[in-house]
Amino acid sequence: MNIQKSSADLYAAYKETTQKAADLNNASAVLGWDQEVYMPAKGFEVRGRQLATLASLAHEMLTSEAYGNQLQELAGRGDLADDEKRNVELSLEDYNKNKKLSAAFVEAITQQTSASYNAWIQSRKENKFSIYAPELDKMIQLKKQQASMYGYESNPYDALLDEYEKGASVALLDSVFGDVKQQLPVLLDKIKTAQQVNDSFFLRNYPKQAQWDFSMDVLRAMGYDFEAGRQDMSEHPFTTSFAPTDVRVTTRVDENNYSSLLWSSIHEGGHALYEQGLPIEQYGLPLGAAASLGIHESQSRLWENNVGRGKQFWHHFYPNLQQYFPQQLNDVSIEAFYKGMNKVEPSLIRTEADEVTYHFHVMIRYEIEKGLMNGDLFTEDLPEAWNGLYNKYLCVSAQDDKTGVLQDVHWAHGSFGYFPTYSLGSFYAAQFYQQAAKEMPTLTDDIANGTLLGLREWLRGKVHQYGRRYTSEELCKQITGMGLDFKVFMQYAHEKYAGIYGF
C-alpha cells in the first residue's frame, strides 16, 4: 500500500537533503578559505582534488531524481507555510538549472579553479601573465561550455550574469554602463579642473600592527561579531561564510600606503554583516542565502563609501586614529584627511580606486568578459586589450602585468559575470543609504558619535532577514519605492565631490 507522506514529512526530507548539500559546500568553503590564507604552496594539487570531490557530491545530491521528485511534489502542495513555499520555489529553480551541468563538468571546473588560482599566485609573484594564461584559457573554455549548458536567448554572457544577478543581461548592463559613460565623465571633468586635494600623508609609514588594531576597532563598532567570525590576511581581500555563526573576512596591508588596509576591511565587514544577519533557522535553504551579488555589494559599498568615506564617520574615529598614528597624522586636520581619502584621480588598481573612477574599472572588466564569452577577444589578447581600455577610459596604462591584467583573482575562480555587480551594488547602496537617512532622523548624528549599530539593525530589517525571498529589483522597490535608479548615485556623488572640490 502506497501511503502518501504528509507535507511536513516531505518538507523535512527536502530540508535535510538541502542542508546536507550545504554542509558539503561549506566544508569546501573552509578548504577554500584555508587555500587563500594559510595553505602551503605544495598543497594546491591535492586541494583541488578535495574541493572537486566535495563539489561533485553536493551537485549529485541536488540534481538527483529523488530530490527533483520531492521538489515537484512539494510545489504541488497547497498547505505549505509562506517561507516553506518560497524555499521550494527557489530550490526547484536551482534544481532545474543545476541539472543542466553534469557531475563531471562540476568536478572539472572545481579542479580548474584550484589550478587557475595557483597559476595566478605564481604569475603575480613573477609578474608574468604568460604563467597564468594557459590555465586561465582552460577556465575561459569551461565557462563558455557552462554558458552553452545553461542556454541563453541572445548572448552567452547572459547565462553567466544570471548566476550572480538574477535577471541581469547584456542588454540591461549596456544600458546601465551607457549612463556611466554619459554622466560620470561630466563629473570627472569638473573635478579635473578643480584644485587637486592632497593625500600624500597616506604614503607615510604606518606600522602593520597599528593599522590592523584600528581596523579591528572599526569592525567591532560596525557590529561585526568576532565570536562568529575573524579577520586574516590574504593576497586579495575577501569574505567567506560557512554559516551566520562563522563568517570570516580578510584584508591586506601596505605599511607605506594607509589606504590599502582600512577601507578593504570595512568593505569586507559590510559583506560579513550581511552574512551574519541571515536567519540561522534557514541555514542551507534559499531564504538563508543572500539575495544576489548586487545586493551583497550594496552592503559592502554602503559601509565602505557612504559610511567609511563619509565626513560624519571621522568626527568620532579620527581622534582615535591619531592616537594610533600620532607622528604620521599630527599635522593633518580632519578636513584634510576627509578630502584626502576621497581624492579622485584615475589610477590602475580597482580595489583602491575612488568612488567616481571605480565604475570605469568595472566597466572595463565587463567589456573584456563580454568579449571573451562572445569570441571577440582571446586569452592571449588580454594584456593589450586591458591597457587599451584603460587608456581609453582613464588615460592610464599599466607598466607591468601585476598592476594590470593580473590584479584581480576573480577570473581564476571562474567568476565571469561577477564584476558588474560591483557597480550595481554601489548604485543600490546610494538608494538604500538615502532611504535609511529618511527613516532614521538621527543617522547622521549617530554616525558622528561612533554609534553604528542602528544602521546595522536597519539593514538587517530591510535587507538581511529576507535572504533570497526577493530579487534585487523587488527588494529595492520594497525598501525605496523604486527600482535601480542611477540618478540617485549621481546626485550623491555630485553633492559629495562638489563639497570636496569646491565646484
Helices and strands: H and E segment counts in the chain? 21, 3
> Do 338 and 314 contact (CB within 8 A), yes or no?
yes
Query: Residue 215 belongs to what H/E stretch?
Result: helix 208-222
Q: Which positions ≥6 away from 95 have C-beta within 8 Å?
A: 62, 63, 67, 68, 71
> Do 430 and 489 contact (CB within 8 A), yes or no?
yes
Cα dihedral sign for 440, 444, 450, 456?
A: positive
Cα–Cα–Cα angle for 205, 206, 210, rounded to 5 degrees? 160
What are the distances in angstroms from CA 446 to CA 98, 221, 257, 410, 449? 45, 12, 29, 36, 5
| C-alpha–C-alpha distance, residues 202 and 208, integer Å | 14
The DSSP secondary-structure symbol of 202 reads G
| C-alpha–C-alpha distance, residues 49 and 55, integer Å | 10
Helix (H, G, I), strand (E, B) or coil at 206: coil
Return the closest-CA partner of residue 55 out of 116, 93, 14, 101: 101
Helix (H, G, I), strand (E, B) or coil at 111: helix
Looking up cell 593580473, which residue turns up? 406
Q: Which positions ≥6 away from 46 have C-beta within 8 Å?
A: none
| C-alpha–C-alpha distance, residues 484 and 103, integer Å | 37
Amino acid occupying residue 185: P
- Phi, psi values for residue 3, rounded to 5°: -100, 120
| C-alpha–C-alpha distance, residues 374 and 153, integer Å | 13
> Do 219 and 275 contact (CB within 8 A), yes or no?
no
Catalytic hit among 36, 165, 268, 369: 268
Query: Residue 334 belongs to what H/E stretch?
Result: helix 334-341
What dihedral do alpha carbons 348, 350, 353, 355 form, nearest 10°? 140
Annotated catalytic residue 73:
no
> Do 483 and 476 contact (CB within 8 A), yes or no?
yes
Amino acid occupying residue 326: P
> Strand 239-243 to strand 229-233: parallel, antiparallel, or no bridges (unpaired)?
unpaired
| C-alpha–C-alpha distance, residues 55 and 111, integer Å | 10
| C-alpha–C-alpha distance, residues 248 and 231, integer Å | 6
Cα–Cα–Cα angle for 63, 91, 47, rounded to 5 degrees? 55
Which residues does the annotation mark as catalytic? Answer: 268
